[in-house]
Amino acid sequence: MTTEQVERKVRETLHAVDLDRVRAPGDLVQKVLRRRSRRRFSQAAGAAVAIAAVTVGAVAGFGGGGAAEPDRPVRPAASPATPPDGWKPWQSGVPGAGERGCLVDGSALYCGGSKYDVAKFDANTGERLWTVKVNREGDGIDHPFAARDGVVYAYRNHTAENLPSGDYSGGTDLMAVDAGTGDVLWAVEMPQDDRTEQAAMLIDGAVLANTPSVRTMSALDPLTGKEKWRHTWDKGTVCQRAVLSGVPYLLCTRDAEEPDDTDVLRLDPATGNATKVMTVPGRQELLGTSQGQMVLIAAKDAAGKDLRLTTVNGSGQQTSHPYRVEGEVAASEIVGDRLISVSRQGKASAYSLATGKTLWNRPAGIKVPGKNTMQSIASPVVSERQGVVYFFDPTGDLSGLDLRTGEQVWHAHVDTAEPGPGFRDSPQLLLYEDVLVARNGSKIVSLLPRTGD
């Protein structure tokens, strides 16, 4: 590893652990649940991970191996997959355009890679439409994170210039890009190199960003980047951020070793005025949001095996259930009222946030890398219309389980390049209506899983 690479890794480590003492959500979850797959765990560890992925199926393949026919479904899914109008199977391999990850928005696919901070593809055909070149280097852990009203939001290096000493001065800009032309509309410098999901998010009428200081969230005009309002919390306090139906919330607790209670604050999206909604006992970590609720997790014991999951809505109503971690979790995702997870032993399970019961526990149908490797599986994705949850591993196996029962309804495989030692081999799986979009490095494939045939 070169000196420059070491410096870059150190810089990524510093921005990942969030030097404003605002922890990426959360030490507990990263250690126990590895939530949102290995990607966030890697960010907290300071690893340069790109959530690049390749998915496989009955219509396309990589590496000259072709595509294999899917296995006969065990039972029909809730509804068969149907392609969007104008879609056809495709694959793309534009160098430097996709290693860092992708975002699906309507019929557009926005990706980031080593050469481009944003590259737009037609999700129906795979045609590359435009690109935004990176400043200096593009091997970070981020990719375009949101799109709305004809604007795409992403990150880039603040400068491409070296200091007089020859060293590279780090820094991150939040930028807005015209979705039609690829023109950069505005850029705002962030106070540190944090590019996690906590750094910026869309709210009603604005982009809520962790700027201009490390203890401040500012609402920026989505077309100009001008500040509308800001909210700053006290020194010695850490605040996690969430958005419910366009309204921003903060979950704040004292920055101390001993567990403390967690205050839930609502910020008016128009003015930034803060209102305390409730206090949740103990130090809570934000696991995600779903169906107008924040999902929180807290440890009940020092070992971190016995946990409590709490759902809180915008009015402060809450429901809590115990959750027991059996073994090590390789990936998890909140979908609707369920927590879908995969263990290192290859078992997938569905846990009901409403009842606190495990609904099913079945083989995921994929190969899960060992915990000592730098590889991970993709975060599970769910097609609620089909009633199927999909999983993907770095070896090229793709599996679909019935969301209600856990029975396997589809399986496919495609030959891909041999997995390497880096995080860039971590798969990513996305949905474009019923179509699967997946990526491994700059290779992207779009296929329709025939689960109901």
Output the average pLDDT for the chain.
81
Give me the residues paired with residue 258 across strands: none
DSSP states of 19-38 as a string? TTS--SS-HHHHHHT-TTHH
Task: Tell me if residue 134 falls in helix, strand or coil.
Answer: coil
Position 39 scores a pLDDT of 31
Residue 130 gets the label, from left (phi > 0), alpha (psi -120 to 50) or beta, of: beta
CA angle 225, 230, 234 (to 5 degrees): 140
Q: How far apart are CA 348 and CA 123, in angstroms?
A: 29
Q: What is the mean pLDDT of residues 50-72?
A: 29
State pLDDT tens for residues 363-414.
Answer: 999 999 887 777 889 899 999 999 999 998 888 889 999 999 999 999 988 6
The strand order across the sheet containing 428-432 reads 90-92, 443-447, 435-440, 428-432
Confidence of residue 73 (pLDDT cuts 50, 70, 90): very low
Query: Can you list the domains of the chain with their CATH numbers?
Result: 3-447 (2.130.10.10)
Distance from C-alpha of 90 to C-alpha of 61, rounded to nearest angstrom: 10
Q: What is the mean pLDDT of residues 210-226?
A: 96
b/e sequence 15-42, b meaning 16+ C-beta within 10 Å: bbbbebebbbbbebbbebbbbbbbbbbb
Contact between 145 and 132 under an 8 Å Cβ cutoff? The reply is no
Task: Say which residue, 222 or 325, is predicted with more confidence.
Answer: 222
pLDDT at 51 over 60: no
CA distances from 390 to 108, 264, 295, 371, 403 (A): 21, 33, 22, 21, 9
CA distance 9 to 48: 7
Kindly report, residue by residue over 85-134, the tens digit of the pLDDT. 999 999 998 889 998 999 999 999 999 999 999 999 999 999 999 999 99
Contacts of 171 (CB under 8 A, 6+ apart): 157, 158, 159, 189, 190, 193
Amino acid at 354: A
Query: Half-sphere exposure (CA, 13 Å, Cβ side) for 400?
Result: 36
Place 256 in a pLDDT band, splitting at 50, 70 and 90.
confident
Beta bridge partners of 44: none
Interaxial angle between packed helices 37-45 and 3-16, expressed in degrees from 0 to 180 and rounded to the nearest 10: 110
Q: Which residues contact 28 (CB under 8 A, 6 or more apart)?
A: 285, 297, 298, 299, 304
pLDDT (tens digit per residue) in 324-349: 877 788 999 998 899 999 999 999 99
Burial call 51-82: b when 16+ CB within 10 Å, e when fewer: bbbbbbbbbbbbeeeebbebeebeeebbeebe
Give the other-Cβ count within 10 Å of 275's Cβ. Answer: 9
Q: Are 239 and 47 in contact (CB under 8 A)?
A: no
Residue 360 amino acid letter: W
CA distance 359 to 355: 10
Region 443-450: mean pLDDT is: 89
Digit-coded pLDDT (tens) for 136-149: 877 777 999 999 99
Tell me the pTM: 0.81
- pLDDT single digits (tens) 155-177: 999 886 666 766 666 789 999 99
Average of per-residue pLDDT across 296-305: 78
Q: For position 58, what pLDDT does the model report? A: 25
For residue 236, the tally of other CB atoms under 10 A from its CB is 10
What 8-state DSSP symbol labels residue 162? B
